Structure 1
Amino acid sequence: MSLPDATGCHAIVLAAGAGSRFGGGKLLAPFRGRPLIYWSVAAALSSRVTSVTAVLGARADDVAAALAPFADRRLSLVRCRHWEEGLSASLTYGLRTLPLDTRAVAIFLGDMPDLDPGLADRVLTEVVGGAPAAYPECRGLPGHPVALSSELFPLIESLKGDQGARAVLAGQSGVIRVPTDDPGSIADIDTRHDLKRLGP
């Protein structure tokens, strides 16, 4: 499903964490010939969103260098000084960088390299159509990217620590689950074993 009107639709890629369970440097780890973070950003840029914002934190200079090959003017990099406070800090910081006329945003995680690029457009289409949020569901499990209406942004601001958008969605009615057969929507990389398992 192609997003019919991408006006006011944006994407955020959360790429601020240190990857402690991985042993550090997770987003810079080689994966299919590129740094791991490259693939999430590529998926976001493959959607019809107006802009893609990558929120950096740990080893920000190195992650920025890893994204230098992208020549797409829609991509911007921002640095969250409080990234060590958890996922919620980088998520809320990213939302604050969006234009005032934002209607919806798709949230990508930097450690999910196998996402179907079309999923962002599908979940955003649901939000543009009136849903407060939408997310992919594969094998009965919730996945990414999660799309949020700007109406939920104030609630996101209340999150703390490693809470993500899903903590807010649990209390919302009308959230749309978008069925998908794409295992990449639920496959993130936490450890080096995960990296080998998802590799070529």
Structure 2
Amino acid sequence: MRLITKRVEELLVPPLPEYSYICDGEIKQSECKGSMIFRDPDYILITPQDVLESFSFSSILSRKLRGRKLKRWENYVSKYQIEIENLDTRIILRENVILTIYVDGLSVCGVDGETVIKEYRVVGTNKNFDEELDSLKNIKPTLLVVNQRDPWFMLTAYRVLYITSELRKELGRLVGVSRIECDKIKNEDNIIICYIR
């Protein structure tokens, strides 16, 4: 069962590969005569240890990055008001979540723009599954991917924080195409949950 997009944000998560194509109403990785989407990703990975050792997002950046990459991320923080929110801190430390923040340049049908996405990922044993799932639902993600195999699970939640207006308008024309393959899809409180086994 493929996820049919109903909102612009659903076109962006999980983050697209470098090149993807829209063919026969689906976003695919294989080249075809349909529209092309090019993604130029930039990201930073934040662990619970990073949060414990730093008092702010800017200090995490200073510890992890150098040179031009640091300057680039300082520009992103200023331009898009990116921060580690209190909710982020709580979930990272309490649930041992790895947070990845993406600032992606996208080109869709000749229209360029940028997006900001937060990805929260946690791996655990099935005895903690319900608790961890509820915690990730609390951040109100756009998409929550559940991959459960006895005795382990992996949960990945995505929040789309920003899309430039020109890009949003162009992506709006693509809503209705299908994205990822799921075994089961639920919609709970405007959160799309994709179950993969």
Larger Rg computed on CA atoms: 2
- From the two aligned structures, give the one with the greater strand fraction: 2
What's the TM-score, normalizing by structure 2? 0.26
TM-score with structure 1 setting the length = 0.26
